[in-house]
Amino acid sequence: MNAALRSIILLMTMNVFIAGCQRPSENHAPQPPDAAQREHLVAAPAGERNDPYYWLRDDSRKDPEVLALLEAENTYTRAMLAETRPLIEDLAAEMRARIPDEETGAPFFDGGYWYYTRYEAGGEYPVHARREGSMEGPEQVLLDGNRMGEEEDYFRIGGWDVSPDAKKLLWLQDVVGRRQFRLLTRDIDSGEVVDTGAGGVSSATWAADGNSIFYVENHPETLRSFRVKRHFPGQDRDDEVLYEETDTAYYTSVGRTRSDRFNYIFVRSTAATEMHVIDSADPAARFEVFFPREHGHEYSADHVDDHWVIRTNWEAPNFRIMRAAQTGHADRSAWTDLISPRAEVFVHEFDAFESHLAVAERADGLRRLRILDYATGQSRVIEFEEAAYVAQLGRNREPASDTLQFIYTSMTTPRNTYELDLRTGDRKRVKQLEVAGGFERSDYRTRRLWAEARDDTRIPVSLVWHKDTPLDGSAPLYQYGYGSYGSSMEPAFSSERISLLDRGFVYAIAHVRGGQEMGREWYEQGRLLNKVNTFTDFIDVRDHLVGDGLVDGERVFAMGGSAGGLLVGAVANMAPEKFAGIVAHVPFVDVVTTMLDESIPLTTNEFDEWGNPEKPEFYRYMLSYSPYDNVSRQEYPAMLVTTGLWDSQVQYWEPAKWVARLRDYKTDQKPLLLHVNMDAGHGGKSGRFRRLEQTAMEYAFVLERAGLN
């Protein structure tokens, strides 16, 4: 942003803020900005709607009037939180104190090297490094995020890949926060870095021969990942287009199999997937379809030894694991079961070894691990003792290995990395996430319970609290939910959350329909024309916890982000009296207008999730719950809303418009705050310490409202 534009925005910001402050006020508190209304008709087959705040959309992010309004919102939020500034600083400091200055993650073995990620004292960004042969050898730094990002307001390494010969590195880099990465390479021995010139990249991988790079280019307007190109480092030739996905419902990515023999193109929509594979060590080879796409058929495959292992929902709603011959993958009738379909168990993913198969699956809402021995055909589940936990696969890159790396965590147990001997079943812990600042695991309790929804469906709920906090109806509740895209919310550990627990909050994850905690049907019951189940489940979980006398019904707070922001936004309209406060991070709240506009990133891929509003049935249903369209003249809870100017997932104007409309309609005097991160996107600020500032603000907001400041 140039100096002249910045000066104009500063002047306009002051004008907007002063204009707001001139409105009458009994307590002389700061007054919020007052966004102008301008008539704008949004056309749809089922009828037109007036959207008076449509003008807040600025794709360029350069309109001085829009930027001035967003800056005025930030000024107002800072003024309203001024009295809690000491608490915010205290919270940020104690969360910072729990993060060790120096930290090294669990290493994983690949091609003769041990790879790992570490953080340096005071460093915001990771350092990716490796050691040859053992962890006792000399360190070879691959990427130093602190040095690379030191001059940037935002910095992120989006992914990296070492060539099969271990001599070359590629990585993706974002300095805006819009997830439009630039592709760079490095010769590991010489250190020479080359900018390939490829921007707007979403994924990349070395070819199996190590002489070229496959990468995916995003559409410049919709940001949909759609075109696969091949880049030859060091050669003076244009990048070759290998594949272009023309169906706008599909996204595209690239990768390499565990065997390092095949590369693949993976295309996915909400309801179907398709893979294309190439024996890229063969110069004459071309990509071929692994199995043709079918609506409703989702599959993914990996190559190990001389066969393919496939996760598929063919005649298996909760997925199964199958095997196919190396050259027989296009004939589905020749696929054979390794893990047969089960009605009560959902299969998430797998790691295929030459002698065993490790499967991450979910039963009764909990994620666990199963090990299959090819030789005996027998499988076993790895058992754990806690009532609510997460067990997931680690980094297992060597298919010939007899050792499985896996991760275990719970809401009271920091992340532990284990190694399991696949032959004997013996396991050992190789790394535990260090939590500084006096944390004692024994000070906290966790529980899994079930809430009954209004249609008699049992909803799993994960609880965590401090041992000194009584579950007798006197403690405040912080309730989190998501419930979209089949994404399951795991009961994992958070060192930041301790700041709430230590101050007397009970924290709950409501595993509402729309995720896949209870299998594929759980997802089906929370999408398309069943979406309202997601919102009513969340309300019913709150009512259960209050009704059973576990928490204080006058101090219940709701939090959600992105599609979870849609959840809490809908809940704010449907049951505002049941919540003392709501925190909505980057909320997807303008559902209908966004889904009508196919130029907006992500829209076309989402029709199978929300429905296509060009069809009257879906239009009316989406309009019935869209948070922006259902704001009404009533009292609302205190609300903190966050967004990022460069967000490519949920554009900043959705929460900005929502807040403007809420101010027009709400009949209460409770705070309604909008915080706009002007230098970041969907994930907020970059850096392991800088990101704590927003969390501290969020926690201070709810602690103040709960009387625990």
- Which pLDDT value is given to residue 348? 95
Give the model's pLDDT for residue 328. Answer: 85
Q: Which residues pair with residue 641 across a beta bridge?
A: 584, 674
pLDDT of residue 283: 79
Residues of the chain with pLDDT under 50: 1-11, 14, 17-26
The pLDDT of residue 319: 98
Residue type, 25: S
Residue 266 and residue 354: Cα distance in Å, rounded?
23
pTM for this entry: 0.92
pLDDT at 26: 45
Q: Match 């949004």 to its residue by tokens.
A: 42
> How far is it, in rounded angstroms, from Cα 53 to Cα 48?
15
Looking at residue 8, what is its pLDDT? 45
The CATH label, of 1.10.3210.10, 2.60.40.1220, 3.40.50.261, 2.130.10.120, for the domain at 152-297 is 2.130.10.120
| 439 in Cβ contact with 499 (< 8 Å) | no
DSSP 446-495: EEEEEEE-TTS-EEEEEEEEETTS--SS-S-EEEE----TTPPPP----T
**The pLDDT of residue 648:** 84
Token pair of 308 as six digits: 């393919």
Contacts of 517 (CB under 8 A, 6+ apart): 362, 365, 460, 488, 489, 511
Q: What is the pLDDT of residue 27?
A: 55
Q: What is the dihedral of CA 514, 515, 518, 523, to 10 degrees?
A: 40
Res 221: pLDDT: 85
User: What's the pLDDT score for residue 15?
Assistant: 53
Active site residues per annotation:
562, 647, 682
Amino acid at 437: G
- Cα–Cα distance, 641 to 652 (Å, whole number): 11
Please tell me the predicted confidence (pLDDT) of residue 289: 97
Pairing of strands 127-132, 113-119: antiparallel
Q: What letter would DSSP give residue 279?
A: E
Residue type, 229: K
